[in-house]
Chain A
Protein backbone atom coordinates (compact mmCIF):
# COMPACT_ATOMS: atom_id res chain seq x y z
CA UNK A 1 0.00 0.00 0.00
CA UNK A 2 2.91 2.32 0.66
CA UNK A 3 3.37 2.69 -3.09
CA UNK A 4 0.13 4.65 -3.09
CA UNK A 5 1.47 7.20 -0.67
CA UNK A 6 3.97 9.98 -1.08
CA UNK A 7 7.39 9.84 0.56
CA UNK A 8 6.27 12.37 3.13
CA UNK A 9 3.65 10.06 4.61
CA UNK A 10 4.62 7.76 7.45
CA UNK A 11 2.92 5.69 10.05
CA UNK A 12 3.46 4.90 13.69
CA UNK A 13 5.59 1.79 13.33
CA UNK A 14 8.11 3.72 11.22
CA UNK A 15 8.74 6.02 14.18
CA UNK A 16 12.07 4.47 15.03
CA UNK A 17 13.31 4.67 11.46
CA UNK A 18 12.62 8.38 11.60
CA UNK A 19 14.21 8.71 15.01
CA UNK A 20 17.15 6.34 15.57
CA UNK A 21 17.72 7.81 19.04
CA UNK A 22 14.89 5.61 20.32
CA UNK A 23 17.09 2.56 19.74
CA UNK A 24 19.39 3.34 22.67
CA UNK A 25 17.07 1.67 25.16
CA UNK A 26 16.90 -1.62 23.27
CA UNK A 27 20.60 -1.44 22.46
CA UNK A 28 21.40 -1.09 26.15
CA UNK A 29 19.26 -4.10 27.02
CA UNK A 30 20.82 -6.16 24.25
CA UNK A 31 24.25 -5.21 25.67
CA UNK A 32 23.16 -6.61 29.03
CA UNK A 33 21.75 -9.80 27.51
CA UNK A 34 25.01 -10.36 25.64
CA UNK A 35 26.83 -9.97 28.95
CA UNK A 36 24.67 -12.76 30.39
CA UNK A 37 22.27 -10.77 32.56
CA UNK A 38 18.75 -12.18 33.04
CA UNK A 39 17.03 -9.24 31.38
CA UNK A 40 13.31 -9.17 30.75
CA UNK A 41 11.66 -6.17 29.12
CA UNK A 42 8.04 -5.14 29.19
CA UNK A 43 5.90 -2.36 27.94
CA UNK A 44 2.27 -1.31 28.01
CA UNK A 45 1.30 -1.05 24.33
CA UNK A 46 4.12 1.38 23.54
CA UNK A 47 6.88 -0.81 22.09
CA UNK A 48 7.16 1.33 18.98
CA UNK A 49 7.29 4.53 21.02
CA UNK A 50 10.15 3.31 23.20
CA UNK A 51 11.78 1.12 20.58
CA UNK A 52 11.51 -2.04 22.67
CA UNK A 53 10.13 -3.90 19.66
CA UNK A 54 13.77 -4.12 18.60
CA UNK A 55 14.62 -5.96 21.81
CA UNK A 56 11.53 -8.15 21.33
CA UNK A 57 12.63 -9.02 17.78
CA UNK A 58 16.02 -10.16 19.12
CA UNK A 59 14.78 -11.91 22.29
CA UNK A 60 11.07 -12.69 21.86
CA UNK A 61 10.99 -14.93 24.93
CA UNK A 62 12.27 -12.09 27.09
CA UNK A 63 9.75 -9.46 26.11
CA UNK A 64 6.34 -9.19 27.77
CA UNK A 65 3.47 -7.28 26.23
CA UNK A 66 1.44 -6.11 29.22
CA UNK A 67 -1.21 -4.33 27.22
CA UNK A 68 -2.61 -1.07 28.51
CA UNK A 69 -2.24 -1.96 32.18
CA UNK A 70 0.60 0.03 33.69
CA UNK A 71 -0.15 -0.82 37.30
CA UNK A 72 -0.17 -4.54 36.59
CA UNK A 73 3.08 -4.14 34.65
CA UNK A 74 4.86 -2.46 37.54
CA UNK A 75 3.66 -4.94 40.17
CA UNK A 76 4.45 -7.88 37.89
CA UNK A 77 7.95 -6.50 37.30
CA UNK A 78 8.45 -6.61 41.06
CA UNK A 79 7.34 -10.25 41.11
CA UNK A 80 9.73 -11.01 38.26
CA UNK A 81 12.63 -9.39 40.10
CA UNK A 82 11.86 -11.45 43.21
CA UNK A 83 12.57 -14.61 41.20
CA UNK A 84 15.99 -13.32 40.11
CA UNK A 85 15.14 -11.74 36.77
CA UNK A 86 16.32 -8.22 35.84
CA UNK A 87 13.16 -6.46 34.62
CA UNK A 88 13.05 -3.24 32.60
CA UNK A 89 9.53 -1.92 32.11
CA UNK A 90 8.78 1.14 30.04
CA UNK A 91 5.89 3.44 29.34
CA UNK A 92 5.19 7.16 29.12
CA UNK A 93 6.48 8.91 32.23
CA UNK A 94 3.07 10.48 32.75
CA UNK A 95 1.62 7.03 33.33
CA UNK A 96 4.59 5.37 34.99
CA UNK A 97 5.52 8.04 37.53
CA UNK A 98 1.96 9.11 38.30
CA UNK A 99 -0.60 6.40 37.47
CA UNK A 100 1.63 3.62 38.85
CA UNK A 101 3.20 5.70 41.61
CA UNK A 102 1.75 3.61 44.43
CA UNK A 103 2.80 0.33 42.84
CA UNK A 104 6.32 1.73 42.50
CA UNK A 105 6.31 2.75 46.14
CA UNK A 106 4.90 -0.49 47.54
CA UNK A 107 6.10 -3.27 45.27
CA UNK A 108 9.41 -1.92 44.05
CA UNK A 109 10.92 0.60 46.46
CA UNK A 110 9.54 -0.71 49.76
CA UNK A 111 10.23 -4.29 48.70
CA UNK A 112 13.68 -3.28 47.36
CA UNK A 113 13.15 -5.13 44.11
CA UNK A 114 15.81 -4.17 41.53
CA UNK A 115 13.35 -3.24 38.81
CA UNK A 116 14.37 -0.67 36.22
CA UNK A 117 11.50 1.65 35.40
CA UNK A 118 11.79 3.60 32.15
CA UNK A 119 9.54 6.66 32.08
CA UNK A 120 9.98 8.02 28.58
CA UNK A 121 8.67 11.11 26.80
CA UNK A 122 9.03 13.11 29.98
CA UNK A 123 8.22 16.73 30.67
CA UNK A 124 6.41 18.54 27.87
CA UNK A 125 8.00 16.51 25.11
CA UNK A 126 4.61 15.08 24.13
CA UNK A 127 3.69 18.65 23.16
CA UNK A 128 0.23 18.92 21.69
CA UNK A 129 -0.85 15.49 22.93
CA UNK A 130 -1.73 17.47 26.00
CA UNK A 131 -1.61 17.48 29.76
CA UNK A 132 -2.59 13.81 30.07
CA UNK A 133 0.68 12.97 28.29
CA UNK A 134 2.88 15.63 29.91
CA UNK A 135 5.00 14.51 32.88
CA UNK A 136 5.94 17.59 34.86
CA UNK A 137 5.41 16.01 38.28
CA UNK A 138 7.20 12.64 38.06
CA UNK A 139 10.47 13.81 39.62
CA UNK A 140 8.44 15.10 42.54
CA UNK A 141 6.50 11.90 43.05
CA UNK A 142 9.48 9.60 42.56
CA UNK A 143 11.85 11.74 44.63
CA UNK A 144 9.66 11.47 47.70
CA UNK A 145 9.81 7.65 47.63
CA UNK A 146 12.55 6.21 49.83
CA UNK A 147 15.16 3.81 48.45
CA UNK A 148 14.49 4.73 44.82
CA UNK A 149 17.31 5.91 42.56
CA UNK A 150 16.29 8.47 39.93
CA UNK A 151 18.30 8.94 36.76
CA UNK A 152 17.60 11.49 34.03
CA UNK A 153 19.96 10.92 31.09
CA UNK A 154 20.66 13.89 28.84
CA UNK A 155 20.96 11.91 25.61
CA UNK A 156 20.86 8.43 24.11
CA UNK A 157 24.49 7.44 24.69
CA UNK A 158 24.20 8.41 28.35
CA UNK A 159 20.97 6.40 28.65
CA UNK A 160 22.66 3.37 27.15
CA UNK A 161 25.67 3.79 29.46
CA UNK A 162 23.38 4.14 32.49
CA UNK A 163 21.46 1.00 31.51
CA UNK A 164 24.71 -0.91 31.26
CA UNK A 165 25.90 0.47 34.60
CA UNK A 166 22.59 -0.51 36.20
CA UNK A 167 23.67 -4.15 36.06
CA UNK A 168 25.94 -3.40 39.00
CA UNK A 169 23.35 -1.28 40.84
CA UNK A 170 21.26 -3.73 42.81
CA UNK A 171 18.51 -1.27 43.70
CA UNK A 172 15.29 0.01 42.15
CA UNK A 173 15.82 2.71 39.53
CA UNK A 174 13.48 5.16 37.84
CA UNK A 175 14.93 6.33 34.53
CA UNK A 176 13.42 9.56 33.27
CA UNK A 177 14.13 9.82 29.58
CA UNK A 178 13.11 12.23 26.87
CA UNK A 179 11.73 11.41 23.45
CA UNK A 180 15.22 10.59 22.17
CA UNK A 181 15.33 13.52 19.81
CA UNK A 182 17.84 15.35 21.97
CA UNK A 183 21.13 16.01 20.16
CA UNK A 184 23.94 13.84 21.46
CA UNK A 185 26.25 15.42 24.01
CA UNK A 186 28.28 12.35 24.80
CA UNK A 187 30.07 9.88 22.56
CA UNK A 188 29.30 6.19 22.23
CA UNK A 189 32.06 5.31 24.70
CA UNK A 190 30.69 7.44 27.54
CA UNK A 191 30.42 5.79 30.93
CA UNK A 192 27.97 6.34 33.75
CA UNK A 193 28.39 6.50 37.49
CA UNK A 194 25.27 6.61 39.67
CA UNK A 195 25.21 9.63 41.96
CA UNK A 196 28.00 11.46 40.14
CA UNK A 197 27.20 14.65 38.23
CA UNK A 198 29.01 15.49 34.99
CA UNK A 199 30.61 18.93 35.03
CA UNK A 200 30.99 20.99 31.87
CA UNK A 201 33.23 24.00 32.57
CA UNK A 202 33.85 25.75 35.86
CA UNK A 203 31.67 28.87 35.69
CA UNK A 204 32.81 31.84 37.74
CA UNK A 205 29.63 33.91 37.30
CA UNK A 206 26.93 31.27 37.19
CA UNK A 207 26.50 27.53 37.44
CA UNK A 208 23.57 25.98 35.62
CA UNK A 209 22.42 22.66 37.02
CA UNK A 210 20.25 20.78 34.55
CA UNK A 211 19.01 17.28 33.90
CA UNK A 212 17.64 15.47 30.89
CA UNK A 213 16.58 17.30 27.76
CA UNK A 214 17.59 20.81 28.97
CA UNK A 215 21.27 19.88 29.37
CA UNK A 216 22.03 20.37 25.69
CA UNK A 217 20.40 23.82 25.38
CA UNK A 218 22.01 24.77 28.70
CA UNK A 219 25.41 24.03 27.18
CA UNK A 220 24.49 26.13 24.15
CA UNK A 221 23.31 28.92 26.45
CA UNK A 222 26.63 28.78 28.32
CA UNK A 223 28.43 29.23 25.00
CA UNK A 224 26.20 32.19 24.07
CA UNK A 225 26.82 33.85 27.43
CA UNK A 226 30.52 33.00 27.27
CA UNK A 227 30.76 34.97 24.04
CA UNK A 228 29.30 37.91 25.98
CA UNK A 229 32.03 37.57 28.61
CA UNK A 230 29.87 35.79 31.19
CA UNK A 231 31.47 32.66 32.64
CA UNK A 232 28.86 29.92 32.97
CA UNK A 233 29.45 26.31 33.96
CA UNK A 234 26.92 23.54 33.38
CA UNK A 235 26.39 20.57 35.64
CA UNK A 236 24.59 17.62 34.11
CA UNK A 237 22.82 16.28 37.19
CA UNK A 238 22.03 12.96 35.54
CA UNK A 239 21.32 11.31 38.89
CA UNK A 240 18.59 13.24 40.65
CA UNK A 241 18.55 10.89 43.62
CA UNK A 242 20.86 10.42 45.35
CA UNK A 243 21.86 13.97 44.44
CA UNK A 244 25.54 14.76 44.01
CA UNK A 245 25.63 17.21 46.92
CA UNK A 246 29.36 17.80 46.54
CA UNK A 247 28.82 19.01 42.98
CA UNK A 248 26.17 21.49 44.18
CA UNK A 249 28.38 22.79 46.98
CA UNK A 250 31.37 23.07 44.67
CA UNK A 251 29.33 25.01 42.11
CA UNK A 252 27.98 27.29 44.85
CA UNK A 253 31.51 27.98 46.09
CA UNK A 254 32.76 28.83 42.59
CA UNK A 255 29.99 31.00 41.26
CA UNK A 256 27.83 32.08 44.17
CA UNK A 257 24.83 31.92 41.84
CA UNK A 258 23.05 28.78 40.78
CA UNK A 259 20.29 28.25 38.27
CA UNK A 260 18.50 24.96 37.85
CA UNK A 261 16.86 24.07 34.55
CA UNK A 262 14.37 21.27 34.22
CA UNK A 263 11.51 20.13 32.05
CA UNK A 264 9.37 19.73 35.15
CA UNK A 265 7.38 21.73 37.64
CA UNK A 266 9.78 23.85 39.71
CA UNK A 267 7.86 22.50 42.73
CA UNK A 268 9.30 19.17 43.81
CA UNK A 269 11.80 18.75 41.01
CA UNK A 270 15.52 19.22 40.48
CA UNK A 271 15.42 22.86 41.60
CA UNK A 272 13.74 21.85 44.81
CA UNK A 273 16.36 19.16 45.41
CA UNK A 274 19.17 21.68 44.94
CA UNK A 275 17.39 24.22 47.18
CA UNK A 276 17.22 21.57 49.91
CA UNK A 277 20.97 21.11 49.78
CA UNK A 278 21.60 24.85 50.02
CA UNK A 279 19.14 25.20 52.89
CA UNK A 280 20.60 22.19 54.71
CA UNK A 281 24.04 23.73 54.47
CA UNK A 282 22.87 27.27 55.30
CA UNK A 283 24.65 28.70 52.27
CA UNK A 284 24.01 32.36 51.34
CA UNK A 285 23.72 31.53 47.65
CA UNK A 286 21.23 32.92 45.17
CA UNK A 287 19.29 30.20 43.38
CA UNK A 288 16.92 30.60 40.47
CA UNK A 289 14.70 27.62 39.69
CA UNK A 290 13.83 27.60 36.01
CA UNK A 291 11.24 25.23 34.59
CA UNK A 292 7.47 24.97 34.48
CA UNK A 293 6.17 27.44 37.06
CA UNK A 294 3.56 25.38 38.91
CA UNK A 295 1.13 25.31 36.04
CA UNK A 296 -0.15 22.86 33.46
CA UNK A 297 1.73 23.44 30.24
CA UNK A 298 0.09 24.75 27.10
CA UNK A 299 -0.20 22.53 24.07
CA UNK A 300 1.98 23.04 21.00
CA UNK A 301 4.66 21.12 19.14
CA UNK A 302 7.49 20.36 21.58
CA UNK A 303 9.99 22.79 20.11
CA UNK A 304 7.41 25.56 20.25
CA UNK A 305 6.79 24.76 23.91
CA UNK A 306 10.51 24.77 24.68
CA UNK A 307 10.72 28.25 23.14
CA UNK A 308 7.60 29.42 24.97
CA UNK A 309 8.84 28.19 28.34
CA UNK A 310 12.37 29.45 27.62
CA UNK A 311 13.82 25.96 27.79
CA UNK A 312 15.72 26.33 24.52
CA UNK A 313 19.23 27.83 24.33
CA UNK A 314 18.10 31.42 23.74
CA UNK A 315 15.48 31.16 26.46
CA UNK A 316 17.88 29.76 29.04
CA UNK A 317 20.46 32.44 28.15
CA UNK A 318 17.82 35.12 28.53
CA UNK A 319 16.62 33.82 31.90
CA UNK A 320 20.25 33.65 33.07
CA UNK A 321 20.95 37.25 32.01
CA UNK A 322 17.92 38.49 33.92
CA UNK A 323 18.94 36.50 36.98
CA UNK A 324 22.48 37.92 36.89
CA UNK A 325 21.12 41.45 36.52
CA UNK A 326 19.24 41.13 39.81
CA UNK A 327 21.43 42.42 42.62
Chain B
Protein backbone atom coordinates (compact mmCIF):
# COMPACT_ATOMS: atom_id res chain seq x y z
CA UNK B 1 0.00 0.00 0.00
CA UNK B 2 2.77 2.33 0.97
CA UNK B 3 4.65 1.38 -2.16
CA UNK B 4 1.61 2.20 -4.25
CA UNK B 5 1.35 5.66 -2.68
CA UNK B 6 5.02 6.36 -3.38
CA UNK B 7 4.61 5.25 -6.95
CA UNK B 8 1.51 7.37 -7.43
CA UNK B 9 3.13 10.50 -6.05
CA UNK B 10 6.24 9.85 -8.15
CA UNK B 11 4.04 9.60 -11.21
CA UNK B 12 2.36 12.92 -10.36
CA UNK B 13 5.70 14.63 -9.88
CA UNK B 14 7.01 13.22 -13.16
CA UNK B 15 3.93 14.37 -15.07
CA UNK B 16 4.24 17.86 -13.63
CA UNK B 17 7.91 18.01 -14.51
CA UNK B 18 7.20 16.79 -18.03
CA UNK B 19 4.44 19.34 -18.61
CA UNK B 20 6.67 22.12 -17.29
CA UNK B 21 9.47 21.26 -19.71
CA UNK B 22 7.00 20.96 -22.58
CA UNK B 23 6.04 24.60 -22.01
CA UNK B 24 8.96 25.95 -23.99
CA UNK B 25 9.42 29.67 -24.24
CA UNK B 26 8.80 30.72 -27.84
CA UNK B 27 10.35 33.57 -29.77
CA UNK B 28 9.30 34.36 -33.33
CA UNK B 29 11.58 36.55 -35.46
CA UNK B 30 10.72 37.83 -38.89
CA UNK B 31 11.99 40.36 -41.39
CA UNK B 32 15.10 41.54 -43.22
CA UNK B 33 17.00 39.06 -45.37
CA UNK B 34 20.18 40.96 -44.48
CA UNK B 35 19.69 40.23 -40.80
CA UNK B 36 18.50 36.69 -41.57
CA UNK B 37 21.92 34.96 -41.44
CA UNK B 38 22.66 36.56 -38.06
CA UNK B 39 19.19 35.71 -36.76
CA UNK B 40 19.43 32.12 -37.92
CA UNK B 41 22.90 31.48 -36.57
CA UNK B 42 22.03 33.22 -33.30
CA UNK B 43 18.80 31.24 -32.92
CA UNK B 44 20.64 27.95 -33.45
CA UNK B 45 23.46 28.77 -31.06
CA UNK B 46 21.04 30.10 -28.43
CA UNK B 47 18.78 27.06 -28.63
CA UNK B 48 21.82 24.79 -28.27
CA UNK B 49 22.61 26.51 -24.99
CA UNK B 50 19.02 26.88 -23.77
CA UNK B 51 17.03 23.75 -24.49
CA UNK B 52 13.86 25.31 -23.05
CA UNK B 53 13.64 28.04 -25.69
CA UNK B 54 12.23 27.62 -29.15
CA UNK B 55 13.12 30.31 -31.70
CA UNK B 56 11.51 30.52 -35.14
CA UNK B 57 13.16 32.67 -37.81
CA UNK B 58 11.46 33.84 -40.99
CA UNK B 59 12.67 36.13 -43.80
CA UNK B 60 10.45 38.31 -45.93
CA UNK B 61 12.18 41.69 -45.82
CA UNK B 62 12.43 44.59 -43.40
CA UNK B 63 8.96 45.90 -44.21
CA UNK B 64 7.41 42.50 -43.54
CA UNK B 65 9.23 42.24 -40.21
CA UNK B 66 8.03 45.61 -39.03
CA UNK B 67 4.43 45.04 -40.10
CA UNK B 68 4.33 41.61 -38.39
CA UNK B 69 5.60 43.27 -35.23
CA UNK B 70 2.70 45.74 -35.48
CA UNK B 71 0.24 42.87 -35.92
CA UNK B 72 1.88 41.02 -33.02
CA UNK B 73 2.49 37.99 -35.25
CA UNK B 74 6.16 38.09 -34.33
CA UNK B 75 8.13 39.02 -31.21
CA UNK B 76 11.16 40.48 -32.96
CA UNK B 77 10.99 42.39 -36.24
CA UNK B 78 14.36 42.27 -38.01
CA UNK B 79 15.16 45.30 -40.11
CA UNK B 80 18.09 46.63 -42.08
CA UNK B 81 16.65 50.19 -42.00
CA UNK B 82 15.30 52.39 -39.25
CA UNK B 83 11.55 52.29 -38.80
CA UNK B 84 9.65 55.07 -40.62
CA UNK B 85 7.62 57.68 -38.82
CA UNK B 86 4.47 56.51 -40.59
CA UNK B 87 5.09 52.96 -39.40
CA UNK B 88 5.49 54.11 -35.79
CA UNK B 89 2.16 55.97 -36.03
CA UNK B 90 0.35 52.87 -37.29
CA UNK B 91 2.02 50.69 -34.65
CA UNK B 92 0.92 53.00 -31.83
CA UNK B 93 -2.72 52.83 -32.97
CA UNK B 94 -2.46 49.05 -32.65
CA UNK B 95 -1.03 49.33 -29.15
CA UNK B 96 2.48 48.34 -30.20
CA UNK B 97 5.43 50.49 -29.22
CA UNK B 98 8.39 49.60 -31.48
CA UNK B 99 11.79 49.90 -29.79
CA UNK B 100 15.02 49.72 -31.79
CA UNK B 101 17.81 47.36 -30.70
CA UNK B 102 20.96 47.78 -32.79
CA UNK B 103 22.59 44.36 -32.98
CA UNK B 104 25.36 44.82 -35.56
CA UNK B 105 26.75 47.15 -38.21
CA UNK B 106 26.77 46.37 -41.90
CA UNK B 107 29.59 47.82 -44.01
CA UNK B 108 29.90 47.28 -47.74
CA UNK B 109 33.37 47.68 -49.21
CA UNK B 110 33.95 48.53 -52.86
CA UNK B 111 36.71 46.26 -54.16
CA UNK B 112 38.93 46.15 -57.24
CA UNK B 113 41.66 43.84 -58.48
CA UNK B 114 44.93 44.32 -56.53
CA UNK B 115 46.72 45.12 -59.81
CA UNK B 116 44.36 48.05 -60.44
CA UNK B 117 46.02 51.46 -60.03
CA UNK B 118 42.81 53.06 -58.78
CA UNK B 119 42.56 53.00 -55.00
CA UNK B 120 40.20 55.89 -54.32
CA UNK B 121 36.74 56.59 -55.70
CA UNK B 122 34.03 59.03 -54.82
CA UNK B 123 30.47 58.03 -53.99
CA UNK B 124 29.38 59.71 -57.19
CA UNK B 125 31.88 57.78 -59.31
CA UNK B 126 30.74 54.46 -57.85
CA UNK B 127 27.16 55.33 -58.68
CA UNK B 128 28.11 56.34 -62.20
CA UNK B 129 30.06 53.12 -62.71
CA UNK B 130 27.21 50.97 -61.46
CA UNK B 131 24.52 52.74 -63.46
CA UNK B 132 26.50 52.65 -66.69
CA UNK B 133 27.55 56.29 -67.09
CA UNK B 134 31.25 55.45 -66.70
CA UNK B 135 32.61 52.48 -68.64
CA UNK B 136 36.36 52.95 -68.68
CA UNK B 137 38.94 53.08 -65.90
CA UNK B 138 40.62 56.09 -67.52
CA UNK B 139 37.56 58.19 -66.53
CA UNK B 140 38.29 57.62 -62.85
CA UNK B 141 42.04 58.05 -62.98
CA UNK B 142 43.15 54.54 -63.90
CA UNK B 143 44.86 53.02 -66.91
CA UNK B 144 42.46 52.76 -69.89
CA UNK B 145 40.46 49.54 -69.97
CA UNK B 146 36.87 48.39 -69.79
CA UNK B 147 35.35 48.32 -66.32
CA UNK B 148 33.89 44.89 -65.61
CA UNK B 149 31.06 45.56 -63.19
CA UNK B 150 30.31 42.78 -60.74
CA UNK B 151 27.18 42.90 -58.62
CA UNK B 152 25.18 40.58 -56.39
CA UNK B 153 21.99 38.74 -57.28
CA UNK B 154 19.01 41.05 -57.23
CA UNK B 155 17.44 39.21 -54.30
CA UNK B 156 20.40 39.38 -51.95
CA UNK B 157 20.46 41.60 -48.89
CA UNK B 158 23.82 43.02 -49.90
CA UNK B 159 22.41 44.03 -53.28
CA UNK B 160 19.49 45.69 -51.56
CA UNK B 161 21.83 47.54 -49.17
CA UNK B 162 24.12 48.62 -51.98
CA UNK B 163 21.11 49.76 -54.00
CA UNK B 164 19.98 51.97 -51.13
CA UNK B 165 23.35 53.26 -49.93
CA UNK B 166 25.30 53.59 -53.17
CA UNK B 167 22.79 53.83 -55.99
CA UNK B 168 20.09 55.70 -54.08
CA UNK B 169 17.43 53.59 -55.73
CA UNK B 170 18.80 53.71 -59.30
CA UNK B 171 19.02 50.51 -61.33
CA UNK B 172 22.24 48.56 -61.70
CA UNK B 173 23.35 48.48 -65.36
CA UNK B 174 22.00 45.39 -67.13
CA UNK B 175 25.42 44.15 -68.25
CA UNK B 176 26.67 43.85 -64.66
CA UNK B 177 27.73 40.31 -63.84
CA UNK B 178 25.58 38.99 -61.03
CA UNK B 179 27.28 36.63 -58.61
CA UNK B 180 25.53 34.43 -56.07
CA UNK B 181 27.61 35.18 -52.97
CA UNK B 182 30.07 37.62 -51.40
CA UNK B 183 32.70 34.95 -51.90
CA UNK B 184 31.95 34.61 -55.61
CA UNK B 185 32.21 38.38 -56.09
CA UNK B 186 35.59 38.40 -54.33
CA UNK B 187 36.84 35.50 -56.48
CA UNK B 188 35.70 37.12 -59.71
CA UNK B 189 37.25 40.48 -58.85
CA UNK B 190 40.45 38.74 -57.73
CA UNK B 191 40.72 36.96 -61.09
CA UNK B 192 39.67 39.80 -63.37
CA UNK B 193 42.02 42.72 -63.90
CA UNK B 194 39.36 45.29 -64.83
CA UNK B 195 36.71 44.28 -62.35
CA UNK B 196 34.94 46.25 -59.62
CA UNK B 197 32.65 44.69 -57.03
CA UNK B 198 31.22 45.18 -53.58
CA UNK B 199 31.18 42.81 -50.61
CA UNK B 200 30.54 42.83 -46.88
CA UNK B 201 33.51 44.05 -44.84
CA UNK B 202 33.92 40.59 -43.33
CA UNK B 203 34.70 39.08 -46.73
CA UNK B 204 37.57 41.35 -47.77
CA UNK B 205 40.79 39.36 -48.19
CA UNK B 206 44.22 40.05 -49.62
CA UNK B 207 43.15 38.75 -53.05
CA UNK B 208 41.20 41.97 -53.62
CA UNK B 209 41.75 45.63 -52.85
CA UNK B 210 39.16 47.72 -51.01
CA UNK B 211 39.13 51.30 -52.32
CA UNK B 212 38.61 54.38 -50.19
CA UNK B 213 35.30 56.12 -50.64
CA UNK B 214 35.21 59.93 -50.50
CA UNK B 215 38.63 59.53 -48.87
CA UNK B 216 37.45 57.20 -46.10
CA UNK B 217 38.84 53.66 -46.02
CA UNK B 218 36.58 50.67 -45.45
CA UNK B 219 37.45 49.33 -42.02
CA UNK B 220 35.79 48.23 -38.80
CA UNK B 221 36.50 51.58 -37.15
CA UNK B 222 35.03 53.72 -39.95
CA UNK B 223 31.98 51.47 -40.27
CA UNK B 224 31.38 51.55 -36.52
CA UNK B 225 31.48 55.34 -36.29
CA UNK B 226 29.50 55.56 -39.55
CA UNK B 227 32.04 57.83 -41.25
CA UNK B 228 32.29 55.28 -44.06
CA UNK B 229 29.44 56.13 -46.47
CA UNK B 230 28.24 52.58 -47.09
CA UNK B 231 27.62 51.62 -43.50
CA UNK B 232 24.36 51.12 -41.66
CA UNK B 233 23.09 49.67 -38.41
CA UNK B 234 21.03 46.48 -38.36
CA UNK B 235 18.03 46.38 -36.06
CA UNK B 236 15.88 43.98 -34.12
CA UNK B 237 12.66 45.79 -33.26
CA UNK B 238 10.68 44.72 -30.21
CA UNK B 239 7.36 45.80 -28.73
CA UNK B 240 8.47 48.08 -25.90
CA UNK B 241 11.72 47.33 -24.12
CA UNK B 242 12.64 43.65 -24.51
CA UNK B 243 11.27 41.54 -21.65
CA UNK B 244 11.87 38.05 -20.31
CA UNK B 245 13.24 35.52 -22.77
CA UNK B 246 13.50 38.10 -25.59
CA UNK B 247 15.59 40.33 -23.34
CA UNK B 248 17.86 37.38 -22.53
CA UNK B 249 18.21 36.50 -26.20
CA UNK B 250 19.07 40.01 -27.37
CA UNK B 251 21.33 40.42 -24.35
CA UNK B 252 23.18 37.27 -25.37
CA UNK B 253 23.45 38.46 -29.00
CA UNK B 254 25.05 41.69 -27.74
CA UNK B 255 27.48 39.79 -25.49
CA UNK B 256 30.99 38.89 -26.61
CA UNK B 257 29.80 35.41 -27.72
CA UNK B 258 26.91 36.78 -29.73
CA UNK B 259 29.00 39.47 -31.38
CA UNK B 260 31.61 36.90 -32.38
CA UNK B 261 28.81 35.15 -34.24
CA UNK B 262 27.90 38.44 -35.92
CA UNK B 263 31.46 38.68 -37.17
CA UNK B 264 31.52 35.11 -38.54
CA UNK B 265 28.42 35.96 -40.57
CA UNK B 266 30.35 38.74 -42.30
CA UNK B 267 29.03 41.75 -40.39
CA UNK B 268 30.72 44.26 -38.13
CA UNK B 269 30.36 43.59 -34.39
CA UNK B 270 29.50 46.53 -32.16
CA UNK B 271 32.48 45.91 -29.87
Asked if chains A and B come from one complex, the reply is no
Where the two chains meet, the residues of A that have a C-beta atom closer than 8 Å to any C-beta of B are: none
